[in-house]
Structure 1
Amino acid sequence: MAFDPVGPAGRGATTIADRVVAKIAVQAAREALGVTVLRGGSSPHASVVVRRDVARVSVSLELGYPADLGRQCGAVRSHVTLRVRELAGMEVPEVAVHVERLHSPRTARESGRRLR
């Protein structure tokens, strides 16, 4: 009886759920901003659409103000792209960053929140 090796495509497939990629994106956004979860505030959240090995990511977050918002959003885009590629092995052609709210040091003190 001859052994017929099965090629990689015939061995099965690994699928990674959208929600798993979204969790990677949220953690990457936190890492990029150097922020832990804010007390009383909201943590970044993400939605992801995966088609084959391509993930399109949308991250919503709150940022401190005054700050260089463009730089912070760019850092989030870059880091989310890098981490999803590293951890999930997916291409990320698009990371949309939505800033839902800005927090000044005064509003952070009034609400008892700590910003970075």
Structure 2
Amino acid sequence: MTTPRATAPSRATRVPPAERGATQITDRVVAKIAARAAREALGGPPPGGTAPHATVTVHHDIARVRISLELGYPGDLAAQCAAVRRHVTERVESCAAMTVPEVDIDIEHLHAAHTGPGSRRSRLR
């Protein structure tokens, strides 16, 4: 007696790749993309500063992003924040295929370009 052999489904009955399942990108991964994009937009942290940090909440294909960063001062803070918002939105949308309706920015610290051993501020102390 022979047992029936299992045969591979024909190409006509295979499920197309787009219908086989779903891809989920976690909040943590999107946060890494956003933090990297913020770093790219600023050209790196100011001297003595730390790299930007991001927190993200993803619901379906919508990512709400909050970036914490340190900026050099004096400088055009509004222009720097606008550049970060624009670049983070573009990168998250292109890399994660998510809509980014808002990018909130928290400026945690300003780094003055003149503070150092020979600066006026340190001499007044």
TM over 0.5: yes
Which residue of structure 2 aligns with residue 106 of structure 1? Answer: 114
Which residue of structure 2 aligns with residue 4 of structure 1? Answer: 13
List alignment gaps of at least 5 residues for structure 2: 1-8, 118-125
Higher relative contact order (CA 8 A, sep 6+): 1
Please give the TM-score of this superposition, normalised by the length of structure 2. Answer: 0.77
RMSD over aligned Cα, in angstroms? 1.9
The one-character-per-residue Cα deviations of 1:86-114 (angstroms, maximum 9, x if unpaired) are 1111010010011011111123x35xxxx
CA spacing shift, 1:37–1:4, aligned 2, 3 Å: farther
Measured in 1, the distance between the counterparts of 2:18 and 2:35 equals 31
2:19 is the alignment partner of 1:13? no
Q: Runs of 4 or more off by more than 6 Å in structure 1?
A: none
Please give the TM-score of this superposition, normalised by the length of structure 1. Answer: 0.83
CA spacing shift, 1:71–1:38, aligned 2, 3 Å: same
